[in-house]
Structure 1
Amino acid sequence: MNTSQATKCAECKEKSLCFKQLNEDELNLTNVNKVQIQFKKGEIISKQGSFVTHIMYLKNGFAKVYKETDLDHNLILDIIPEGKLIGLTSLYNNDNIARFSVAALENSTVCSIDRNTIEKLIQQNSQFAKTVISSLNEESLQFYDKMASLTQKQMNGRVADALIYLSESILKSPKFKMILSRKDLADFTGMSMMSVVRTLKDLKAEGIIEDEKGFIEIKNKTFLKQISQKG
């Protein structure tokens, strides 16, 4: 983890939709209350149980949000692509303890913004507040879908859901570099690593996916979605 020279918020070409709603004064306020940090692959961005003093903006890279457990595995709650805010659930919450951990899935750049600054911007800029609420809604819907997948579907359905989510929502391509290790994919689907490996092998043997040299390609999305729907 290293701090780096940050572009001024007003000049940044990697602003998310919510920050595009801010005027120059509001962008300057954000700029003086943030620090830009470089994280290497695997580094912890935020630790479960620590105090939440900042909201994180993932400027580039990918991160995983996960719940640490007393078992020999964690539960990955979501995969975060660049351009997303992390930690919004801590806003206006008197219990300012992080309920999950965040780690970089690849070398990533994070802008850590003072939480009070974000709350002030929400209060004074309705369009900014609207986009923040929209982000929280997306997180909630993803969480509901994930809980349904984990509790109602068999192994094939869970892996199908994960691959479709990565392809359509995170990496936005039918062929993508697999940013999750087999262990991560197991933690994301609530399965053992051996079960994940076996399921991927079966999907490949059936011609539904291609899995070569760190890349996944969905060859038959219609069939993969049928597996997802049938669970």
Structure 2
Amino acid sequence: MLKRIVNSEVRTCFMNNKGYLCLRDNALFSGLSMEFFRHICWAANKQHMRKGHILFQQGEAVDSVYVIKEGRFKLLRMTEDGNETILQIVGPGEMLGETALFRQDAIQVATAISLEEAKVCSIDRCTFEKVVKKEPDLALEIIRNLNDRLYHVWEQVSEANRQSTQEKILGLMIRLAREQGEACADGSRITIPLTQQEIAALVGASRVMVSQSIKELTAKNYLCREKRHYILKNRCF
């Protein structure tokens, strides 16, 4: 009876139904055999989160790996002097917490806060480690992803060191338009509603500097504001 229930849960998970969270939608898991995937699907904790809810907090012990099914999160780090820095904005198909596989007694280096309604699958570290040990291809894919993230961060830091605040903001908007944008008449509407304080945290500048830079970019016809969203003009592409 239990086996039939488990198999039914897995079959339902494979269906294209928004009521369920299917880990197989993530490229990391696409190569897993059905047998291993059954165990993951049964063990995964499926969460539906509202905007502004915290998935995990900086300083907490890392006890799970998270896969985002729907929605977006900002990874926020609090510095010793009390300033906030947004490290990254992540969305569907991305994984959080996998770095814990390579460290003992790991803690979260940032806080993950939902920017909108979101659906997340979480897998406890022990279960995930067992799967990784039995699936070498999955381990290699995780290492590749971590390497890509590290290279991406290195590129951002290198560029930021030689850019003005205005250039940083324009670079951020171009990147967000590519990753989170939707086409509109004037260019690309960035679907994430961002406050000036959040932009300041993303580019490492003061809110006053960000406010001034956005005014200048708007005057130069690079940006415009539509209600709670920014539009990156066509001339930037």
Cα separation, partners in 2 of 1:97 and 1:178, compared to 1, 3 Å: closer
* Shift, 1:72, TM fit: 4.3
CA offset digits 1:99-139 (Å, max 9, x no partner): 22111111111111111222222222233223222221221
Contact 2:182 2:191 in 1 (8 A): no
Cα shift at 1:172 = 6.4
What is the aligned partner in structure 2 of residue 227 from structure 1? none
Residues 18 and 132, structure 1, Cα contact 8 Å, conserved in 2: yes
- 2:71 paired with 1:68: no
> Where in structure 1 are there 5+ consecutive unaligned residues?
1-6, 223-231
Q: How does 1:67-146 map to 2 (within 5 A)?
A: 67-146=77-156
Counting aligned pairs with the same residue, the percent is: 23
Q: Distance in 2 between matches of 1:171 and 1:116?
A: 37
TM-score, with length taken from structure 1: 0.85
1:221 aligns with 2:236: yes
> How many residue pairs are counted as aligned between the two chains?
216
Aligned to 1:225: none
Q: Is the 8 A contact 2:55 2:112 kept in 1?
A: yes
Equivalent residue number for residue 183 of structure 1: 197
The answer for unaligned runs of 5 or more in structure 2 is: 1-8, 17-21
State the distance in 2 between where 1:29 and 1:155 align. 48
| TM-score normalized by the length of structure 2 | 0.83
Higher Rg: 2
Root-mean-square deviation (CA, aligned residues, Å) is 2.0
1:11 matches 2:14:
yes
Cα distance, 1:167 vs structure 2? 1.1
Question: Retained in 2: the 8 A contact 1:79–1:170?
Answer: no
| Preserved CA contact (<8 Å) 1:67 1:76 | yes
- Name 2:207's counterpart in structure 1: 193
**Runs of 4+, deviation exceeding 3 Å:** 7-10, 170-173
CA deviation after TM superposition for structure 1 residue 63, in Å: 0.4
